[in-house]
Amino acid sequence: MESAVSPLRWVGEAGDGYLEMLDQRLLPGREVWQVMSSAEDVADGIRDMVIRGAPAIGIAAAYGVVLGARARVDGGPTTRQDAAGELKPVFEMLSETRPTAVNLSWSLRRMRHVVQAHDGGAANKLVARLFEEAQSIQREDRENNRRMSELGAELFDDGVKILTHCNTGGLATGGFGTALGIIRAAAAQGKLEKAWIDETRPYLQGARLTTWECLKDDIPATLITDSMAGHFMKQGEVDAVVVGTDRVAANGDVANKIGTYSLAVLADAHDVPFYVAAPISTVDLETPGGDEIPIEQRSREEVTQVGETTIAPAEIDVAHPAFDITPAEYVDALITEDGIVEPPYETNLKRLAESEAAE
């Protein structure tokens, strides 16, 4: 069941290595690894979608801090205050790259704690500790995804047909995936008849990336355009919808790729269960509800062009929210690495956080 798909890799040691990102803008046509040798490179890579997907963004940012620390504080002794001061702009730059996925601030918070715990002395000690933390964030994400996927796959019977949106696989995470991880686990258990893959307009993460992963890992899949989902639900061809998330608010509202809300409403109308694969790193109890989640607005060209081809008149006004909010009432369950969370979300998410903190 292991998947070799990974969006990033560190080459070399903490002190002299660099990060490589698989350029997701070029998939499925070409597999090109881009070298990221500074925090600025990493910030550009996140902003420009070389890497994308909430957990993967968080992991990349953590390695960005390592590169930033090496450039700014390495080479001599440093105090905790000096290190924190030098690294402040690095943290700010990385946290401003994309606003919706909370994994970014979650992961940067973990990296900040490492800086705060620095006891002074050799700066390369701090760089080494930051590197260890980035590696832990990546490893834990992969392990959590596997646990979440096993748990999620248990919800389904043999012959299940699952519809998914966007790309939530190895490419979007530290490995294995969240919603696509669940589909992957169901396939490995011999339960999956088929995954329906929404193309995911306008950026086409489903058509370009999820299909690529499914073919690579022998997951039975059929690509459809987003507007076909209702048709196949009506025909009884969809047993469940499973999507990922960029942020779950305290009341259970879910931010995810634009088009998710429409799918949830369709699923409700057709009595199809709607599940969200939500690693605990995406749960944001500080944000009370979906209305408070910032929605990234992306460029008009991503809507008016498909690849290099322009498909709309140059004068037309364009809107492009990259994410939408699915109200909690449409979500049958959140699948986390620590268990399946059902409504009422306000209470049950709080309970989950408390049991996490007690561990």
How far is CA 170 from each of CA 2, 152, 357, rounded to the nearest angstrom? 10, 16, 27
The residue count for binding ligand MRU (CB under 6 A) is 17
Binding mask 97-126 for ligand MRU (x = CB under 6 A): ----x-------------------------
Q: Interface with ligand MRU includes 204 (CB under 6 A)?
A: no
- Which residue, 68 or 175, is less far from ligand MRU as judged by CB? 175
**For residues 242-271, which are near ligand MRU according to CB under 6 A?**
244-246, 256-257
Count of C-beta atoms within a 10 Å radius of residue 78: 23
Binding mask 309-328 for ligand MRU (x = CB under 6 A): -------------x------
Near ligand MRU by CB under 6 A: residue from 34, 97, 149, 205: 205
- Which residue, 118 or 184, is less far from ligand MRU as judged by CB? 184
Cβ-proximal residue to ligand MRU, closest one? 244
- Which residue, 238 or 254, is less far from ligand MRU as judged by CB? 254
Distance in Å, CB of 246 to ligand MRU, minimum? 5
Q: Do the beta carbons of residue 168 and residue 206 sit within 8 Å?
A: no
Q: Do the beta carbons of residue 191 and residue 159 sit within 8 Å?
A: yes
- Which residue, 245 or 251, is less far from ligand MRU as judged by CB? 245
Q: Is 246 an active-site residue? A: yes
**Interface region with ligand MRU, contact rule CB under 6 A, candidates 48-56, 69-77, 283-291, 350-358:** 48-56
**Backbone torsion region of residue 177, taken as left when φ is above 0, otherwise alpha when ψ lies between -120 and 50, otherwise beta:** left
Q: Interface with ligand MRU includes 54 (CB under 6 A)?
A: yes
**For residues 130-169, which are near ligand MRU according to CB under 6 A?**
166, 168
Which residues of this chain interact with ligand MRU, rule CB under 6 A?
52-55, 101, 166, 168, 172-173, 178, 205, 244-246, 256-257, 322
Residues noted as catalytic? 246
